[in-house]
């Protein structure tokens, strides 16, 4: 029985449009009651279908979206409670607003009706007077529901777009990280007077830490490590620039045997530190020159003091301080000469090594690093470097690092 | 990150409430203190008594603020803890930035008036 087309729509009341755009279903085994209720619902603007057989209603439900169900309780084929329960099981059955019409309105009945999934109750005798008011609240709740659903859908869509953008950014970062790694020298190298191993674990795929080394003439070598303030893309960008700059083809001082590391730091500082913009990124750095003599020359610019392991001695910190590069135009730097004989080792590391925390938030710390260097002192530079890398990674416990970790292990080779 | 502000006559003391002054909060920290300087603060005590960890971003923020207040004012630290002091020492920033044990001591050094209501 379809009343859609058979009943004229009245728009003479204030409730005439509340159900506009919403479809409704009326279920009552009494054809006359069914038709009356349909009319009331339709008068409120709903598009209505009436059913005298609840089983038919159940079949029709879900064929088209139904926002509102008004059903009688006592029906022979299937009572209202059973109908509601069955409706709620259907796809999108939880979305419909259900009003149960009943002559029985004691507490237990309402509890049973609620449990089955009824949203509202109306005494059957009061239908004519009160149904429009109840439909009004139904329409309000349905409109709210619809707005929330739409907003939710919009959010899900936006999330999808964000996820796509995020995935793209991650892919770009991975490419940038590859480029950055290619920019770094090999993890193990033999240079005049030294053997070197490098540990490099970036925090945010791309890293602010960088390092480089190479020969100076035939008999000497330079080594530098730097840590650009901050992490992630801006720091990585700056660190790539720096890495490209601290090479003998650009920083020509690095070509001169016997060069002064401090003079090169001062040159870099003049280039990077400008009074005009105090927000320029700065970096900590260590630069050293190793010649044929039994010492090395180094200049330190705010980088953590390196750990020196001399043959037969425990690792000790080289007690040095220095202004970072690119922070203060007036900064000056000094060269320090350290005795460094065959078999001696120097570990140069970024603050990310000692600040690296484990699961209990305990930082790795300087003492643990000194102990670790002591423990690997009899291993080759390659094995020692691998050991340190694994040790630091297991300390971090597979979590993303808060800061970049880089460490260079430099050993003086026998002449 | 929150800054608790205390006005001591001409001097203001800003207490950083977090235990970390790192890349996560450095920008917000710099902006908050920068707003005070923009609003005319010339004698600023940064109370780092709660800060257990500072990284290069935090240090950069403090030096940027120091430059910003320039020769016309003072920016000093109070209550710095060992890890922060160590970073300031390694980077020699302790040579250009005055540190005091307590806010009171810093306030006396800056010639602060009596606390405002």
CATH match for B3-107 among 3.30.750.24, 3.40.50.720, 3.90.245.10, 3.40.50.300: 3.30.750.24
Residue A107 has pLDDT above 80, yes or no: no
> CB-based contact (8 Å) between B91 and chain A?
yes
User: A97-102 and A23-27 as β-strands: parallel, antiparallel, unpaired?
Assistant: unpaired
Contact B33, B5 (CB under 8 A): no
> In Å, how far is B84's CA from the nearest CA of chain A?
13
Residue A172 has pLDDT above 70, yes or no: yes
Q: Which of A49-58, A63-72, A200-209, A302-311 has the lowest mean pLDDT?
A: A200-209
pLDDT band at B113, cuts 50/70/90?
Answer: low
DSSP string spanning chain B? Answer: --EEEEEETTEEEEEE-SSEESTTTHHHHHHHHHHHHHTT--EEEEE-TT--EE-HHHHHHHHHHHHHHGGGSEEEEES--HHHHHHHHHTTGGGTS-EESSHHHHHHHTT--SPP-
Q: Do B91 and A328 touch (CB under 8 A)?
A: no
Instruction: For A20-62, give the secondary structure using H, E and C.
Output: CCCEEEEECCCHHHHHHHHHHHHHCCCEEEEECCHHHHHHHEC
Which among B57, B67, B90 is the nearest to A229, CB-wise?
A: B57
Structure tokens given for A16: 């005439």
Chain A residues lying within 8 Å of B56, measured CB to CB: 227, 229-230, 282, 284, 324, 351
Q: Could you read off the pLDDT of A20-40 as tens digits, one per residue?
A: 888 999 999 999 999 999 999
Domain boundaries, chain B: 3-107
Q: Do B90 and A302 touch (CB under 8 A)?
A: yes
Q: Could you read off the pLDDT of A113-154 as tens digits, one per residue?
A: 889 999 998 888 788 888 989 999 999 998 898 899 899 999
Q: Which residue of chain A has the CA closest to B53?
A: A355
Please report, rounded to a whole number, the percentage of residues in chain A having pLDDT higher than 70: 93
Q: Could you read off the pLDDT of A350-392 as tens digits, one per residue?
A: 999 999 999 998 999 999 999 999 999 999 999 999 999 999 9
Q: Provide mean pLDDT across the span B47-59.
A: 93
Query: Which of these, A245, A247, A266, lies nearest to A255 by C-alpha position?
Result: A247
Contact B30, B59 (CB under 8 A): no
Q: Provide mean pLDDT across the span A101-119.
A: 84
Q: Could you read off the pLDDT of A183-232 as tens digits, one per residue?
A: 899 999 999 999 999 999 887 666 788 999 999 999 999 999 999 887 66
pLDDT at B70: 85
Q: Which residue of chain B has the CA closest to A283?
A: B56
Which among A231, A324, A355 is the nearest to B91, CB-wise?
A: A324
> In Å, how far is B113's CA from the nearest CA of chain A?
31
Q: Is the dihedral of CA A137, A139, A140, A145 positive or negative?
A: positive
> CB-based contact (8 Å) between B35 and chain A?
no
pLDDT at A63: 80
More confident residue, A104 or B2: B2
> In Å, how far is B114's CA from the nearest CA of chain A?
34
Residue A394 has pLDDT above 50, yes or no: yes
Q: Could you read off the pLDDT of B78-101 as tens digits, one per residue?
A: 999 999 999 999 999 999 999 999
Q: Could you read off the pLDDT of A77-87 as tens digits, one per residue?
A: 899 999 999 99
C-alpha separations of A212 from A66, A229, A237, A299, A302 in Å:
70, 18, 16, 15, 18
Query: Which of these, A309, A310, A312, lies nearest to A349 by C-alpha position?
Result: A309
Contact A197, A409 (CB under 8 A): yes
> CB-based contact (8 Å) between A209 and chain B?
no
pLDDT at A275: 60
Structure tokens given for B2: 């929150």
Q: Provide mean pLDDT across the span A301-308.
A: 96
Contact A67, A97 (CB under 8 A): yes
> CB-based contact (8 Å) between A51 and chain B?
no
> CB-based contact (8 Å) between B57 and chain A?
yes
CB-based burial of residue A247 (10 Å sphere; 0-12 exposed, 13-18 middle, 19+ buried)?
middle
pLDDT band at A276, cuts 50/70/90?
Answer: low
Top-confidence range, A382-386, A398-402, B110-114: A382-386
pLDDT band at A12, cuts 50/70/90?
Answer: very low
Q: Which residue of chain B has the CA closest to A281?
A: B60
> In Å, how far is A321's CA from the nearest CA of chain B?
5
Question: Taking chain B, what is the end-to-end CA distance rounded to the nearest angstrom?
Answer: 25
pLDDT at A10: 43
pLDDT mean across residues, chain A: 88
Task: Give per-residue burial for A179-217: e unless 16+ CB within 10 Å, then b.
Answer: ebeeebeebebebbbbbbbbbbbbbbbbbbbbbbbbbbe
What structural domains and CATH numbers belong to chain A? Answer: 23-152 (3.40.50.2300), 184-412 (3.60.40.10)
> CB-based contact (8 Å) between A35 and chain B?
no
Q: What angle do CA A353, A296, A368 make, to 5 degrees?
A: 25
> In Å, how far is B89's CA from the nearest CA of chain A?
7
Residue A323 has pLDDT above 90, yes or no: yes
Contact A3, A38 (CB under 8 A): yes
C-beta atoms surrounding A357 within 10 Å:
18
> In Å, how far is B59's CA from the nearest CA of chain A?
9
pLDDT at A152: 92
Please report, rounded to a whole number, the percentage of residues in chain B having pLDDT higher than 70: 96
pLDDT at A14: 61
Q: Do A278 and B64 touch (CB under 8 A)?
A: yes
Interface predicted TM-score (ipTM): 0.90
Structure tokens given for A318: 């080289």
Query: Which of these, B8, B65, B1, B67, lies nearest to B36 by C-alpha position?
Result: B65
Residue A90 has pLDDT above 80, yes or no: yes
> CB-based contact (8 Å) between A234 and chain B?
no
Q: Do B67 and A278 touch (CB under 8 A)?
A: yes
Instruction: Pick the residue of A265, A269, A282 with the most B CBs within 10 A to test the interface with B by mutation.
Output: A282
Q: Which residue of chain B has the CA closest to A278?
A: B64
Q: Which residue of chain B has the CA closest to A232?
A: B23
> CB-based contact (8 Å) between A327 and chain B?
yes
Q: Is the dihedral of CA A346, A347, A350, A351 positive or negative?
A: negative
Contact A308, A345 (CB under 8 A): yes
Chain A residues lying within 8 Å of B93, measured CB to CB: 323
Q: Provide mean pLDDT across the span A89-114.
A: 84
Q: Do B89 and A321 touch (CB under 8 A)?
A: yes
Instruction: For chain A, give the secondary structure using H, E and C.
Output: CCCCCCCCCCCCCCCCCCCCCCEEEEECCCHHHHHHHHHHHHHCCCEEEEECCHHHHHHHECCECCCEEEEECCCCCCCHHHHHHHHHHCCCCCCCEEEEEECCCCHHHHHHHHHHCCCEEEEHHHHHHHHHHHHHHHHHHHHHHHHHHHHHHHHHHHHHHHHHHHHHHHHHHHHHHHHHHHHCCCCEEEECCEEEEEEEECCECECCEEEEEEEECCCEEEEEEEEECCCHHHHHHHHHHHHHHCCCCCCHHHHCCCCCHHHHHHHHHHHHCCCCCCCCCCEEEEEEEECCCCEEEEEEEECCCCEEECCCCCCEECCCCCCCECCCCCCCCCCEEEECCCCCEEEEECHHHHHCECCCCCECHHHHHHHHHHHCCCCCHHHHHHHHHHHHHHHHCCCCCCCCEEEEEEEECCC
């Amino acid at each position: 029985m379809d009343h859609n087309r058979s009943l004229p729509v009245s728009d003479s009341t204030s409730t005439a449009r509340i159900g506009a755009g919403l479809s409704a279903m009326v279920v009552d085994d009494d054809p006359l009651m069914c038709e009356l209720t349909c009319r009331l619902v339709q008068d409120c603007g709903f598009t209505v279908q009436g059913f005298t057989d609840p089983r038919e209603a159940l079949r029709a439900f879900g064929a088209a979206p139904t926002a509102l169900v008004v059903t009688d309780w006592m029906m022979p084929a299937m009572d209202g409670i059973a109908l509601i329960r069955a409706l709620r099981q259907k796809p999108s059955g939880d979305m419909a607003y259900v009003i149960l019409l009943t002559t029985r309105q004691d507490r237990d009945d309402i509890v049973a009706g609620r449990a089955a999934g009824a949203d509202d109750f109306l005494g059957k005798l009061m239908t004519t007077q009160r149904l429009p008011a109840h439909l009004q609240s139904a329409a309000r709740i349905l409109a709210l529901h619809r707005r929330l659903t739409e907003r939710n859908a919009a959010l899900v869509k936006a999330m999808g777009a964000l996820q796509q953008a995020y995935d793209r950014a991650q892919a770009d970062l991975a490419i940038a990280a590859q480029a950055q790694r290619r920019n770094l020298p090999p993890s193990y190298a033999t240079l005049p007077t030294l053997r070197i191993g490098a540990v490099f674990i970036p925090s945010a795929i791309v890293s602010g830490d960088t390092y480089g080394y190479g020969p100076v003439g035939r008999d000497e070598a330079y080594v530098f490590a730097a840590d650009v303030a901050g992490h992630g893309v801006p720091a990585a960008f700056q660190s790539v620039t720096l890495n490209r700059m601290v090479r003998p083809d650009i920083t020509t001082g690095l070509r001169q045997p016997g060069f002064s590391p401090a003079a090169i730091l001062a040159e870099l500082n003049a280039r990077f530190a400008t009074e005009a913009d105090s927000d320029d990124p700065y970096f900590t750095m260590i630069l050293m020159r190793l010649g044929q003599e039994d010492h090395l020359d180094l200049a330190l610019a705010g980088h953590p003091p390196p750990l020196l392991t001399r043959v037969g001695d425990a690792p000790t910190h080289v007690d040095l301080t220095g202004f970072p590069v690119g922070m203060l135009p007036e900064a000056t730097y000094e060269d320090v000469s350290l005795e460094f004989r065959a078999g001696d080792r120097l570990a140069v590391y970024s603050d990310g090594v000692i600040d690296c925390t484990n699961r209990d938030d305990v930082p790795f710390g300087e003492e643990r690093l000194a102990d670790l260097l002591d423990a690997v002192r009899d291993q080759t530079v390659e094995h020692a470097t691998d050991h340190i890398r694994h040790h630091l990674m297991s300390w971090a416990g597979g979590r993303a690092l808060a800061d970049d970790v880089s460490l260079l292990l430099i050993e003086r080779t026998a002449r | 990150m929150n800054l608790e502000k205390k006005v001591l006559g001409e001097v203001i003391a800003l207490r950083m409430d977090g235990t970390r002054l790192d890349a996560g909060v450095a920008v917000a920290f710099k902006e908050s203190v920068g707003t005070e300087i923009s609003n005319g603060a010339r004698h600023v005590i940064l109370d780092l008594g709660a800060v257990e960890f500072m990284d290069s971003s935090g240090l950069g923020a403090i030096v940027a603020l120091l430059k910003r207040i320039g020769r016309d004012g003072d920016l000093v630290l109070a209550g710095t803890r060992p890890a922060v002091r160590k970073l300031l020492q390694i980077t020699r920033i302790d040579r250009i930035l005055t540190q005091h044990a307590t806010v009171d001591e810093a306030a006396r050094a800056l010639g602060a008036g009596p606390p405002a209501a």
